[in-house]
Amino acid sequence: MSITAGSYTFGPDSGRLLIHTTRTGLGAKAGHDLTIEVTRWSGDATIDTAAPANSSLTIEIDPGSLEVRTGTGGIKPLTDSDREEIERIIREKILNTGRHPAITFRSTRVDGTAESFHIEGDLTIAGVTRLVTVQGLFADDRVRGSAAIVQSRWGIRPYSAFFGALKLNDEVEVRFDVGLAAKD
C-alpha cells in the first residue's frame, strides 16, 4: 500500500518517538547509553503526493513526558532510582520544563517521494529554534525515520558527571515509527 494525499494525525497511540543517547569520556564505562521515550506528543501532517513541496508537518512534544526505557552498558545495571534521577535532571536542569513546557517542530521544506523523504524544519527546544533535517521512509503502512540533534546548537550542555569524566555525546538521535490516521 502506498500513502495517499491528505491530512493525518499521529501520536503515542499510533507509534513511538524515541531519543537515543551515547556516552563518552574517560568514565564512559560507568554510564549507560539510554533509550528515552516521549510519552506525550502529537503530530499533524498534510501530504501532497503530486507535489511533495506542498506537504507540511508539525509536532508538539511535552518535554516533561520523557521516560527512560533502557540503559545499556555501564558497570552496573540501570536501577529504577537511576531512571527517576535521570528523568528529573532532564526535566529540571537540561530542558527546564517549568519555563519551556513544549518542544515543537514545524516543517519549512519537504522533498523526495512518499516512500523516501527529507523534511527540513524549525525545531524549538528550551526556547531556542534551529533548523534540523529529518530523514524518513514510508513502508508497510508505517512512517519511520530519524534526525540527529546536536544539543549544543540549542544551548544545551550535554550532561556530565564525575567532574566531566563521564558525559553524554553532544549528538543524540531521535527516531520515530508511526502509523498515520486520516483526519476527520
Which tens digits make up the pLDDT trace of 60-112? Answer: 999 999 999 999 988 888 899 989 999 999 999 999 999 999 999 999 999 99
| pLDDT of amino acid 11 | 96
Q: List domains and CATH numbers for the chain.
A: 6-182 (2.40.128.110)
C-alpha cell at 99: 519555563
φ, ψ (nearest 5 deg) of residue 63 = -65, -15
| pLDDT of amino acid 141 | 83
CA distance 17 to 150: 17
| pLDDT of amino acid 27 | 63
CA distance 174 to 90: 15
C-alpha cell at 75: 558497570
pTM for the predicted model, two decimal places? 0.92
Residues of the chain with pLDDT under 50: none
